[in-house]
Structure 1
Amino acid sequence: MINKNIAKEYIDTLGQFPNYQISIYDSYAKKIGSTSNTKNCFSQEELQNFLNSNESVLECKKDSLNCVLVKIYEDNITSCFIAIAGSDNNLLPIATALKMSLEIRLKYEQIQTEEKETLTINEQLIKELVSNSLQVSKIIELCEQSNHSMEIERKMIMLIPDDVSSLDVLANMNLYYDSKEDIVGRLGHQLIILKDMSRAIGSEKDYIKVYFDFLIKNTSFKGKALVAYTSKTYDNVKFAYQNLTWLKKYTTVHNIQETILFFSNYVDMYCISSIPYDILRNLFSSYTYNEEDAKEFITTTDALIRNNYNIVRSSKELFVHKNTLMYRLTKIKNEFDIDPINSESDRSFIKIYNYYLKHKIETKGDSNDERN
């Protein structure tokens, strides 16, 4: 719908018509923009009569000027009309060109408005889906309003931009890849994408990686993408959000630098973090705690875990000689009577004890635990 701002912007672009008086009138025959400050060629009664008539174009002569009135329609309703006056004998082609250009401008404005409204509906839908108190009727209503199906399997992707101020711009960009069933909306300091997985061929991870590459190449996004399990029903979306909220905190605390992280790769740490601390404290109470040794253990095992216990890669990450790393690993093997290089169960022990020490240091736990 036309308004004063759109009319002014449009009038300001008409510098190529300096020899004509061009005015725009709204659906009440009120002038909302003009290229000339001269007296109106038409009386208010004439303008009102044209507005209420069935004619879409009116050609006439006013004093020494030829004039044309032409209506602009939106959804078969008169949105506004243009008046052009000049000395040319044939103003109709110019009036027609002005009409077409203004219609294009109004159509663009309509599309922009609809996209913003859809975004708002998407954000409402996402908020409802991640709520702990799901209102099914509300979800159905929002799905209908946003033209999305409730029956499609979707994978939640949480985009965390390096610059939070870019979220508003990013939220209004076209993030669709191969399906209009993708649901995109801002939620807090991140952007949530519920990606339609019905078109995924082969590995879901590979498919998401291709989609992420598409986002990097075709949008302004810079930052991390956290990826949850696929939610096969709408009521599982809230659990995907809880998982990614935990993963977001985990990546921040542990300064993980990867740009795309799959929750499935961190399930073991998620489960470990769910164990009450009292249980862990009792479990490891027989081991001597020294903060300096604990920090060395954490640093060393973090590198080993990230590099799948590859000594060469781990030593490079730690900036130490591989013999130094082997010395540290030998200390760990002797202290705990384990062999994480060759034993999966011992690797599980390393992860759990690593988590326990981190929690103990972060919470400034008692540093006087002694071996029984």
Structure 2
Amino acid sequence: MSILEPALAQKLIDKTARLFEYNINVMNDKGIIIASKDASRVGDFHEVAYNMLSGTLVSGVVKENQKFLGTKPGVNLFIDYKSKHVGVICVTGNPDTVQVFAEMIKTFMEAMLEYELQVEGERRRKDKTEQFLHYLLSEENIDVAVASTMANDLGITKDLLRTCVIIKYNADYSAKKIVQALTGIEDYSHQDIITVARNGEIIVFKSINLKFPEAIKEYKDTIEEYISKFIKKLPDEYDENEFSFFVGSLQNKINQYRGSYLHAQSLALQAKESDGIYFFNDHVLSYYRNLVTIKTYDNIFNVYDILFNEEDKKLITQAVEVLSRNNYNVVNSAKELYIHRNTLLFRLNKIKDVLNIDPIGNAADREFLNELAYYFSRK
């Protein structure tokens, strides 16, 4: 089997094509065009590439007055991998113009080929569990039949209720010892899928071994208890304050597990603290906010940006953030802000007067003010 496969060659073409205006072709070791910026040329025989690879042609430069089967004017160069010619890359056009581009693309193509083959080699060397998770997490649209076969091969129930937990920890700690702790607790099940990501993070798809309605209701307690037992299994020198746990959404379909992972990953990026347990379901609004651009918010709230001065906007943002955390309880919010209750009420009354809203008594007004304050904080 040729190292330079059509799918890989086309992937390299697609990554390169947008950078250059010239057409690019890749030919395999048989002289067949296997990838091209011009899809109509795929499958054609390329005489110059064939003669270069067979050793009967020294130069790959083709000028206007030279005629070769399946070949247009341009520059043809070998694609080398581990000091062997594995194919030919061609950049069509006036050779004097495209020579430099062809050499640049050859270098880029060879580097990408080496990288892609290295990645592929690493993927193949992963054990079955890692291959399974790699497939689930890296493919945007997985083939359920393929995933099911992999799951069956591992003895994994494919449609069990699970949630993804991403574990971050002190870089000096051993990932192997952490995985040993995870698999050593009584709550561990062979239905739990665990792997170590390339960045060192531990990824766990924790199975929730409860009846469905109960699992939905109790999953936070289940995860917290699981983490508590895990912490006790860690080596004595490992500080629990050096660990963070980001828990994604609940999913019970194999083709939706990736969603739980992405939600946990998003949560990890949002977290301001360096330790503790974070549940995605507690941060759904933040997740949706991050999906919306500031331009969208600006289209909604730009007139209010003019209405308030910078000091007022700062006070509104600060007050609303604390009020939201305290479910708009004025007494508790005032304590957190270290101001008198009447001071906070004065600020709220000022907002009510200017905007003609009542965030304390009206849920819709409260939602509006929350988003307005978020817009001010982003500005």
Give the TM-score normalised by the residue count of structure 1: 0.57
Instruction: Flag the 1:224–1:156 CA change in 2: closer, same or farther, 3 A.
Output: same
CA shift at 1:335, angstroms? 2.9
Give the corresponding residue for 1:164. Answer: 171
Give the residue type in structure 2 aligned to 1:166.
Y
Q: How does 1:119-268 map to 2 (within 5 A)?
A: 121-131=128-138, 132-134=140-142, 136=144, 139-140=147-148, 142-144=150-152, 146-161=154-169, 163-166=170-173, 168-176=175-183, 177-187=187-197, 188-199=199-210, 201=214, 202-219=217-234, 220=238, 221-222=240-241, 223-251=243-271, 255=272, 259-268=276-285
- 1:285 partner SS: helix
Give the corresponding residue for 2:292. Answer: 275
CA distance in 2, matches of 1:347, 1:189: 41
CA shift at 1:167, angstroms? 5.5
CA shift at 1:140, angstroms? 4.4
CA shift at 1:212, angstroms? 2.4
Instruction: Flag the 1:160–1:292 CA change in 2: closer, same or farther, 3 A.
Output: farther
Give the residue type in structure 1 aligned to 2:192.
D
Q: Is the 8 A contact 1:156 1:195 kept in 2?
A: yes
Give the corresponding residue for 1:316. Answer: 335
Give the corresponding residue for 2:359. Answer: 340
Instruction: Flag the 1:124–1:327 CA change in 2: closer, same or farther, 3 A.
Output: farther
- 2:180 partner SS: coil
Q: Is the 8 A contact 2:175 2:202 kept in 1?
A: no
Q: Is the 8 A contact 2:144 2:255 kept in 1?
A: no
Give the structure with the higher percent helix. 2
CA shift at 1:124, angstroms? 3.3
CA shift at 1:293, angstroms? 2.8
Most deviating of 236-245 and 287-296: 287-296
Instruction: Flag the 1:259–1:332 CA change in 2: closer, same or farther, 3 A.
Output: farther
2:375 to 346, 356, 361: 356
Q: Is the 8 A contact 1:228 1:263 kept in 2?
A: yes
What's the C-alpha RMSD, in Å, of the aligned pairs? Answer: 2.9
Q: Is the 8 A contact 1:120 1:185 kept in 2?
A: no
Give the corresponding residue for 1:363. Answer: none
CA shift at 1:304, angstroms? 0.9
- 1:195 partner SS: strand
Instruction: Flag the 1:230–1:257 CA change in 2: closer, same or farther, 3 A.
Output: same
Instruction: Flag the 1:133–1:212 CA change in 2: closer, same or farther, 3 A.
Output: same
Give the corresponding residue for 2:310. Answer: 291
- 2:182 partner SS: coil
- 1:166 partner SS: coil
CA shift at 1:262, angstroms? 1.7
Give the corresponding residue for 1:108. Answer: none
Larger Rg belongs to: 1
CA shift at 1:236, angstroms? 0.5
- 2:358 partner SS: coil
**1:124-152 Cα distance to aligned partner (Å, 9 max, x none):** 33222122243556634643554423232
Q: Is the 8 A contact 2:164 2:248 kept in 1?
A: yes
Give the corresponding residue for 2:119. Answer: none
Q: How does 1:28-107 map to 2 (within 5 A)?
A: none
**1:243-289 Cα distance to aligned partner (Å, 9 max, x none):** 222222222xxx35772222112222322333343332121122125
**1:68-118 Cα distance to aligned partner (Å, 9 max, x none):** xxxxxxxxxxxxxxxxxxxxxxxxxxxxxxxxxxxxxxxxxxxxxxxxxx9
Give the residue type in structure 2 aligned to 1:209.
E
Q: Is the 8 A contact 2:249 2:259 kept in 1?
A: no
CA distance in 1, matches of 2:337, 2:172: 34
Gapped regions of structure 1 (runs ≥ 5): 1-117, 361-372
Give the residue type in structure 2 aligned to 1:283.
I
CA distance in 2, matches of 1:323, 1:312: 9
Give the residue type in structure 2 aligned to 1:184.
I
Q: Is the 8 A contact 1:167 1:191 kept in 2?
A: no
Q: Is the 8 A contact 1:154 1:196 kept in 2?
A: yes
Q: Is the 8 A contact 1:153 1:196 kept in 2?
A: yes
Percentage of matched positions with identical amino acids: 27
Instruction: Flag the 1:216–1:307 CA change in 2: closer, same or farther, 3 A.
Output: farther
- 2:206 partner SS: strand
CA distance in 2, matches of 1:283, 1:327: 26
CA shift at 1:302, angstroms? 1.1
CA distance in 2, matches of 1:258, 1:155: 19
CA shift at 1:306, angstroms? 1.0
